Amino acid sequence: MKSGLLQTPIGEGQDCLGEEMHRFASELYPICRSITGRGIRETLARIQQRIPLKLTEIPTGTPVFDWTVPREWNIRDAYIRNSTGQRVVDFQQHTLHVVNYSAPVHATLSLRELKPHLHSLPDRPDWIPYRTSYYKEDWGLCLSHNQLLALEDDNYEVCIDSSLEAGHLALGECFLPGNSSDEVLISCHACHPSLANDNLSGITVATALAASLLQCKLRYSYRFLFLPGTIGAISWLALNKDTAQRVRHGLVLTCLGDMGGFHYKKSRRGDAEIDRAAVHVLRHCGEPTEVLDFSPYGYDERQYCSPGFNLPVGCLMRSVWGTFPEYHTSADNLDFIHPAQLTRSLRLCQSIVDVLENNRVYLNRNPWCEPQLGKRGLYGSTGGESLDREINARLWVLNMSDGAHSLLYIAEKSGLPFSEVLSAAELLRDSGLLSEVPESS
Amino acid sequence: MKSGLLQTPIGEGQDCLGEEMHRFASELYPICRSITGRGIRETLARIQQRIPLKLTEIPTGTPVFDWTVPREWNIRDAYIRNSTGQRVVDFQQHTLHVVNYSAPVHATLSLRELKPHLHSLPDRPDWIPYRTSYYKEDWGLCLSHNQLLALEDDNYEVCIDSSLEAGHLALGECFLPGNSSDEVLISCHACHPSLANDNLSGITVATALAASLLQCKLRYSYRFLFLPGTIGAISWLALNKDTAQRVRHGLVLTCLGDMGGFHYKKSRRGDAEIDRAAVHVLRHCGEPTEVLDFSPYGYDERQYCSPGFNLPVGCLMRSVWGTFPEYHTSADNLDFIHPAQLTRSLRLCQSIVDVLENNRVYLNRNPWCEPQLGKRGLYGSTGGESLDREINARLWVLNMSDGAHSLLYIAEKSGLPFSEVLSAAELLRDSGLLSEVPESS
Amino acid sequence: MKSGLLQTPIGEGQDCLGEEMHRFASELYPICRSITGRGIRETLARIQQRIPLKLTEIPTGTPVFDWTVPREWNIRDAYIRNSTGQRVVDFQQHTLHVVNYSAPVHATLSLRELKPHLHSLPDRPDWIPYRTSYYKEDWGLCLSHNQLLALEDDNYEVCIDSSLEAGHLALGECFLPGNSSDEVLISCHACHPSLANDNLSGITVATALAASLLQCKLRYSYRFLFLPGTIGAISWLALNKDTAQRVRHGLVLTCLGDMGGFHYKKSRRGDAEIDRAAVHVLRHCGEPTEVLDFSPYGYDERQYCSPGFNLPVGCLMRSVWGTFPEYHTSADNLDFIHPAQLTRSLRLCQSIVDVLENNRVYLNRNPWCEPQLGKRGLYGSTGGESLDREINARLWVLNMSDGAHSLLYIAEKSGLPFSEVLSAAELLRDSGLLSEVPESS
């Protein structure tokens, strides 16, 4: 990939891009996703309309490391009807109303019998919580606390028209081949129902990132994974142990549409090139940012960074899961994510990719003293002025290019943004002052 | 030793323990200890009433590295009597009144002749200073500055009824054998006369620590040394050079009864396991603490950390010698040390021992992705809630247990207290998810 | 060199020294130096009156790495005369009035035609700027902005009576042989015309440093270079590639007379002994100081630290080039540099040399426990007092002298000034307690 290709300034065109990402999120929002079933399958189909996607279906019961692919869950309807026949809780109104992965039920219960199966948020009385019960067969409904308080003593018809049956777990892969078989892995979970930031923002940014790379001549091969959280990543890793060994850099993308600043959580290695690239790009992005050390909970970096794999995979977020009140509630809706934030998140991902694609090692071909930049028109003509920013970058690249230091190292050491270091290196290379050190195979 | 055995919460029983330690200090307080003589011998005899103690007597004149075991000093009485026959300074009132290791003297002197042999503290006119003259034969008396000012021009009978004769240097060892011949060394000086914090607090805490370990099945062997400062440690090291090589961890204990927060002074190595264990335990102890870098002055860590030995021995104190006004004065008395502080100091020592005893390396037997904790009842049943503290500890242990990281490392990295990491590891081991990495011999 | 030889306290004698350095700067100030020509040759001749100096003349056209030795520039006169025959700008008044390295010109021009060749500082209307045009043939004159504003519409005779002809580039070397063929390099640029801090302060301090070392028995050999900036350093390196490999420590000296605190810019290596020595001396010098990381712009450390050489050469300054308003203007004059500051700068250089000369590794001959300092009169006689500063230094040296740690390391670790560590080491060596570890060849 040519340097800077992705870094066109944010103008009108990019607002379009943010709007398009938000529109895509709106399209996916009503679908009731889960870790298996038609919801995620339909989501993958819509991603496939935008980028090439290979779908994989893994049968229920397949052993994947310590786990087993679970039954396929599908749901048609769910409600609570009072004795007058009115739907007081209605899955058709919001996918969060049903505890995700609920077993089917159809019964008439008193309010007292029903209550243990109802979930609400007393502190946020207007919001519906998001609850799941994947690995313990159970059923339940979620509702706003105000809805719960409004329930009178009555006999209620409760119905969850779901099925849990042998089927498949679906996941999608978009593979973009590059010069090298070494891979960059981009992973997002796609198993949350109507949750915009924690799910759809990652999916839409990853899709747009893949689309933008489709046209590029790439140094690395790129693999985008859209899969159910935890079990999906475990399944993919179990079936692709060899491919996983080719992952040289990786990012889990999620929560990228809210108003928060960027957070990058480092890989388990802590000093992998992806960690250094992400930290560098964050430092220069002009937004508030924070770098977090690795911890073994969070998203699918838990699996990629398990000790057997220990892949160099970090996690990029704006607000961090569990730290914003809207997290895992109906308030994480389409108003909570913003086109401009999605665009900036995409740009940041592209900047990280830019670093990875262009982070090479050069060799100064005139290592004994400085080469005479002036006679090549690469130095200011009149001495004595204050240091020019571009000349500064050239001197840094020349001084550090002893065959042992990458451009990213030079950017870190000099405090200059990678793009300026790269421009200087390309100019010096084109002037014959630098030669590229071949990558060790 | 089983984890947590020592860490019963401080309740009524422990107040008893603190009272008992303070009572023991009170019993030892009146004895006039020195680096040799009956004082330290009687002190060791009283320790021996509480824990098994092997006594060693090293003859005067024995060469110990660059030093020689000095003559044995004993004292029966010392006083200054004025011309009316009144004892104006009286050793029977306080052991500090005599310069420790004073040569015998019996003379009548004018006040002017006497004064060069008198020591007082003008800034603290009520306190008697502590002075010694071990390696230069001399004599002197110490008194409060008010006493000194009250001395009228008179002829004084000065008497120090002491003896400096060939004899022995006495030291005591309590050895508790463990599974391994590798040793933990606990050392306290026992050569200071009536000084409570700087001497007796270390002796009583070390004695109680040894008593508490007596009943335990231990991983390491423990060696408690009660000996005269400097010359005692040098003598022990000279006669036990091979044993010293088995010391894997060590602590010098002193000044553990005052109201100050804990100070841990690192070993010369700076990053030994004892340093990391002590720093970790201090960080989580809930009291103000400070960690000090190694320096080659202080207590007997000077000898253990001399370059030839370079043993991993740190020093645990509350207030640091020389930094509190009561240091080396009669104000370092039984009121200056407190039962509750002695108890907390003992608990802290036990927590450090707990870390050393249980700091093992485990291997995650399912290193490829996370094992499914849920099916083993080790995970919360319903997804979506905030992270549970116990699950967090389990995930840390699983993720880091690649055979290279100890539980102490995991505690340091995760910020969790060692006890929680240990509980998680034991649970996971009992569930078959971890196996213990055998110690390299 | 014997320790402390250079570190006589600043008293009356040293004020003389500062005055003498300032007088020497005054002598050099009127000379119109450039990178070639009679100005630098005359400067070298005057240095030669004070210290032995070997002069080297390198012919125009000599290839030196990527550069070529340029033509020799000489100037006799330069002025602008108005139509009444009055010199409105006059090189005889100030050497800065001519753009250094200007090609000859003699013409009559209107004010409009003249203006593109005139340089002034609108923000500092009384100061004349310093401009050069070494590598692009051009001509120009510099004047105060007030002078420029006073120029009326007129026809002006402009004359630069200079020549650019084949000749030589001159540089001077003062070599002081020591016990070892390993060298300490001290380099200053001597190509700036009437600029006191940025040029003459470095020359005078370096000259005085060489003079003070002339009488000493030296461990290292010392090489002082006085040369034109950039092209001079490049030329010397090109002609002395083998000698350069013997440089074990080095300093570029400049801007050492102003009122600012010291700045030490580290070598490219960042942790070379010169870096540690300079940082240590700055820490203890009692003036405000700052340590700067290496960057590939600045003075001739750019060349010494180019990747092919990567010599351990740092740069010592008071105020940093480009950061003070007087920089490269006529305000960097003899009032801007101060005798006392020159003296303190010389003392600091001497302290750094003291560290380099005396930074040896010793071996404690009694590594098992502390040796008994008392019996050698090296310890306080009476126990129990607060720690004595000298004893402290002795204990540090004994404890750390295991054959792996230099005295500088011990000074860094203990926080003691090098001189105290050195005194302790010499005393202990003379007492037979330390032996010197021979230098590895």
Tokens of B213: 């370990």
Comparing alpha-carbon positions, the chain C residue that sits nearest to B298 is C387
Q: How confident is the model at residue B388 (pLDDT cuts 50, 70, 90)?
A: confident
pLDDT score of A12: 46
Closest residue to C328, CB basis, from A384, A396, A400: A384
Mean pLDDT of chain C: 94
| CB within 8 Å: B136 and C387 | no
Q: How confident is the model at residue A256 (pLDDT cuts 50, 70, 90)?
A: very high
Contacts of B370 in chain A (CB under 8 A): 66, 230, 234, 302-303, 306
| Exposure of B309 in the CB half-sphere (CA atoms within 13 A) | 31
Does the pLDDT value for residue B386 go beyond 80?
A: no
Does the pLDDT value for residue C380 go beyond 90?
A: no
Does the pLDDT value for residue B385 go beyond 80?
A: no
Nearest C-alpha neighbor of B174 from the set B208, B201, B219, B217: B208
Task: For chain B, say whether A136 makes contact (Cβ under 8 Å).
Answer: yes
Considering chain B, what percentage of its residues have pLDDT values greater than 70?
95
Q: How confident is the model at residue A13 (pLDDT cuts 50, 70, 90)?
A: low
How many whole angstroms from its chain centre is CA A123?
30
Put simply, the chain B residues between 63 and 122 with a CB less than 8 A from any chain C CB are 64-67
pLDDT tens, position by position, B241-300: 999 999 999 999 999 999 999 999 999 999 999 999 999 999 999 999 999 999 999 999
Closest residue to B306, CB basis, from C368, C375, C381: C368
Mean pLDDT of chain B: 94
pLDDT tens, position by position, B315-333: 999 999 999 999 999 999 9
Put simply, the chain C residues between 382 and 441 with a CB less than 8 A from any chain B CB are 382-384, 386-387, 391-392, 395-396, 398-402, 414
B309 and B240 Cβ atoms separated by less than 8 Å = no
What fold, for A361-436?
A: Arc Repressor Mutant, subunit A (1.10.10)
pLDDT tens, position by position, C221-268: 999 999 999 999 999 999 999 999 999 999 999 999 999 999 999 999
C353 and C183 Cβ atoms separated by less than 8 Å = no
Tokens of C352: 């750094």
Does the pLDDT value for residue B149 go beyond 60?
A: yes
Distance between CA atoms of residues B247 and B78, nearest Å: 42
Q: How far is C374 from chain B (nearest CA, A)?
A: 7
Backbone torsion region of residue C279, taken as left when φ is above 0, otherwise alpha when ψ lies between -120 and 50, otherwise beta: alpha
Does the pLDDT value for residue A4 go beyond 70?
A: no
Put simply, the chain B residues between 335 and 364 with a CB less than 8 A from any chain A CB are 364
Task: For chain A, say whether C306 makes contact (Cβ under 8 Å).
Answer: yes
pLDDT score of C304: 98
Closest residue to C308, CB basis, from A367, A379, A383: A367
Contacts of A235 in chain B (CB under 8 A): none
Does the pLDDT value for residue C8 go beyond 50?
A: no
Q: How confident is the model at residue C10 (pLDDT cuts 50, 70, 90)?
A: very low
A-B CB pairs within 8 A amount to 83
Contacts of C230 in chain A (CB under 8 A): 370
What is the arithmetic mean of pLDDT over B138-142? Answer: 97
Nearest C-alpha neighbor of C272 from the set C241, C295, C251: C251
Task: For chain A, say whether C249 makes contact (Cβ under 8 Å).
Answer: no
How many whole angstroms from its chain centre is CA B65?
24
Partners of chain C (3+ Cβ pairs below 8 A): A, B
pLDDT score of B352: 98
What Å distances lie between residue C199 and A79, B305, C292, C340, C350, CA to CA?
Answer: 87, 51, 20, 17, 19
Closest residue to B237, CB basis, from C369, C398, C401: C369
| CB within 8 Å: B367 and A308 | yes
Q: Which residues contact C441 (CB under 8 A, 6 or more apart)?
A: none
Could you report how far apart the first and last alpha carbons of chain C are, in Å?
19
Considering chain A, what percentage of its residues have pLDDT values greater than 90?
92
Per-domain boundaries in chain B: 15-69+168-358, 74-165, 361-436
Closest residue to C368, CB basis, from B65, B133, B295: B65
Does the pLDDT value for residue A5 go beyond 70?
A: no
Distance between CA atoms of residues B132 and B119, nearest Å: 11
DSSP state of A132: B
pLDDT tens, position by position, A321-356: 999 999 999 999 999 999 999 999 999 999 999 999
Nearest C-alpha neighbor of A419 from the set A360, A361, A364, A355: A355
Does the pLDDT value for residue A383 go beyond 70?
A: no
Q: Any alpha helices (H) in C258-406, and if so which ranges?
A: 273-283, 301-304, 339-358, 389-400
Does the pLDDT value for residue B186 go beyond 60?
A: yes
Nearest C-alpha neighbor of C355 from the set C274, C432, C247: C274
What is the arithmetic mean of pLDDT over C285-307? Answer: 97
Does the pLDDT value for residue B383 go beyond 50?
A: no
CATH no. of C74-165 = 3.50.30.90
Distance between CA atoms of residues C190 and C196, nearest Å: 11
Tokens of A233: 């990543």
Q: How confident is the model at residue B64 (pLDDT cuts 50, 70, 90)?
A: very high
| CB within 8 Å: A364 and C307 | yes
Does the pLDDT value for residue A145 go beyond 70?
A: yes
Does the pLDDT value for residue A103 go beyond 70?
A: yes
What is the arithmetic mean of pLDDT over A194-198? Answer: 98
Angle formed by the axes of helices B339-358 and B12-28, nearest 10° = 110
Options 3.40.640.10, 3.40.630.10, 3.40.50.720, 3.40.50.620; CATH of B15-69+168-358 = 3.40.630.10
Tokens of B72: 């044995």
A216 and A5 Cβ atoms separated by less than 8 Å = yes
Residue C185, Cβ density class (10 Å: 0-12 exposed, 13-18 middle, ≥19 buried): buried
Q: How far is B430 from chain C (nearest CA, A)?
A: 46
Tokens of A311: 């892949």
Partners of chain B (3+ Cβ pairs below 8 A): A, C
Task: For chain B, say whether A132 makes contact (Cβ under 8 Å).
Answer: yes
Closest residue to B399, CB basis, from A131, A306, A328: A306
**Opening angle at CA A138, ends A137 and A139, nearest 5:** 140
Comparing alpha-carbon positions, the chain A residue that sits nearest to B365 is A308
What is the arithmetic mean of pLDDT over A383-408? Answer: 86
Residue entry with tokens 């996971």: B428
Does the pLDDT value for residue B384 go beyond 50?
A: no
Q: How confident is the model at residue A386 (pLDDT cuts 50, 70, 90)?
A: very low
Least confident of A112-116, A133-137, A293-297: A133-137
| φ and ψ of B330, to 5 deg | -65, -10
pLDDT score of C7: 47
What is the arithmetic mean of pLDDT over C89-108? Answer: 97
Does the pLDDT value for residue C386 go beyond 70?
A: no
Considering chain C, what percentage of its residues have pLDDT values greater than 90?
92
Q: How far is C13 from chain B (nearest CA, A)?
A: 39
pLDDT score of A136: 86
Comparing alpha-carbon positions, the chain C residue that sits nearest to A392 is C297
Q: Please tell me which residue, A141 or B12, carries the higher pLDDT value.
A: A141
